[in-house]
Amino acid sequence: MTIYLDHASTTALAREVFEAMLPYLSEHWGNPSSIHRSGRRARQGLDEAREAVAMLIGAKPREIVFTSGGTESDNLAISGVAWAASARGRHIITSAVEHKAVLQECALLERHGFAITYLGVDEHGLVDPEAVAAAITDRTVLVSIMAANNEVGTIQPVAEIGSVCRERRVSFHVDAVQAAPFLPIDVNDWQVDLLSLSAHKLYGPKGSGALFVRQGTPMVPLLQGGSQERQRRAGTENVAGAVGLAAAFAVTAEEPNRAGENDRLTTLRNVLLGGVTAIPGVRRTGHPRLRLPNSASVVIDGIEGGDLVAALDLEEIEASTGSACTTGSMEPSHVLLAMGIEPERARGSLRLTLGRENTPADVETTIEAVTRCVARLRAAAAAPEAKEAPAMSGAPSV
């Protein structure tokens, strides 16, 4: 049996989510914009999904825009707000450890004349709320900081940053794609104006997500066409996808199940991290305490992360590196570099992210396999002629 330890990359569709979606892929296939009975039935499913997602994050249903996933939600939040506010100012603040869906969108805006401040982080990957406050100018229209990092699991002080932004009257976007399965989200406690979600990190379907947009936040749409989603996202709605997001979110957010599952994952994660960091030359990355309960990330001296992922795959353990793989060469992860890890070290990154099906036996097997594979790869590296061609990485920017 394969041991899947790549839940930050994606998760399997939960049975209950599949069952919630099924009617909207079979009998309730209408277009929610249609006036007739079939359309109204589909609309009902969409409305219920919207209410459920809104309720789970303390929002109003009208503040939920269904999207095709985390990437679109991030793109829409950033460019949608930037262009809507561009007459007032063209300055955006983000951090150096954001997902590429945020960083690339900011880079695109930079090419259109916006100024972007990329805040640095400390050695654990934390953004300092005071640095956010210091970077805000009277031209700043948006701050975008993720709730939890996809590579190292570090949880950011979003409520503090939210309060800085509120005080300075700057819109605040939070990418909560990785945080949603684990952290209770309340858009009012966090004082956020925009928040991105993605279903497939929550045992929901791929290609489905949502963006919370606080009422009164000016935003232009990215997609032009029909007037769906209150003119914020044109295109016939993915009703089954939205129903799947709501069902997945409800399942993972259910208390006390979530607290219990978080505790279980934290225990497993600590054993996993302890076992892997017991190997000489292996160091934890990310925050020692403020990290997602399922996330174990390390850098390993003397190996390439991609080679280790390939070696583990042969042992039927599925993991990933934190590195982007371009044209066969391993680029060290921008997140690890921003945390001050030397490029050479950052090349040896490994990310193990647990999920609800993982057991203590999986963790034991994985520690043994990582120990064995690292020893083998180091021995191969010490005898260069025997070294195999470098493997492609696991998950680039997920």
Q: Which residues bind ligand PLP (CB under 6 A)?
A: 69-71, 74, 99, 101, 146, 150, 175, 177-178, 198, 200, 209, 398
In the complex with ligand PLP, which residue's Cβ is closer, 69 or 348? 69
In the complex with ligand PLP, which residue's Cβ is closer, 196 or 366? 196
| Active-site annotation holder among 106, 165, 325, 373 | 325
The distance of closest approach from Cβ of residue 273 to ligand PLP in the complex, given in angstroms and rounded to an integer, is 20
Helix residue ranges, H only, the chain: 15-25, 37-57, 70-84, 100-111, 129-135, 158-168, 228-231, 239-253, 257-277, 305-314, 334-338, 343-346, 360-382
In the complex with ligand PLP, which residue's Cβ is closer, 330 or 395? 395
Please, what is the end-to-end C-alpha distance for the chain in angstroms? Answer: 24
Specify burial of residue 111 (Cβ count, 10 A radius: 0-12, 13-18, 19+): exposed
The distance of closest approach from Cβ of residue 287 to ligand PLP in the complex, given in angstroms and rounded to an integer, is 16
The radius of gyration computed from the CA coordinates of the chain, to the nearest angstrom, equals 21
> Is 106 labeled as catalytic in the residue annotation?
no
In the complex with ligand PLP, which residue's Cβ is closer, 70 or 305? 70
The distance of closest approach from Cβ of residue 133 to ligand PLP in the complex, given in angstroms and rounded to an integer, is 24
The distance of closest approach from Cβ of residue 397 to ligand PLP in the complex, given in angstroms and rounded to an integer, is 6
In the complex with ligand PLP, which residue's Cβ is closer, 71 or 285? 71
The distance of closest approach from Cβ of residue 386 to ligand PLP in the complex, given in angstroms and rounded to an integer, is 36
CA–CA gap between residue 105 and residue 84 (Å, rounded): 15
Residue nearest to ligand PLP (CB): 70
Find out whether 36 and 229 touch, Cβ atoms under 8 Å. no
Q: Which helix (H) or strand (E) holds 213?
A: strand 209-213
Number of Cβ atoms within 10 Å of the Cβ of 196: 31
Read off the DSSP letter of residue 197.
E
The distance of closest approach from Cβ of residue 87 to ligand PLP in the complex, given in angstroms and rounded to an integer, is 29
In the complex with ligand PLP, which residue's Cβ is closer, 154 or 178? 178
Collapse the DSSP code of 331 into the 3-class scheme (helix H, G, I; strand E, B; otherwise coil) and give the result.
strand
Token pair, residue 151, equals 């590579």
Q: Which helix (H) or strand (E) holds 118?
A: strand 115-119
Residue environment code for 36-50, b if the CB has 16+ CB neighbours within 10 A, otherwise e: eeeeebbbebbeebb
Q: Which residues are catalytic?
A: 325
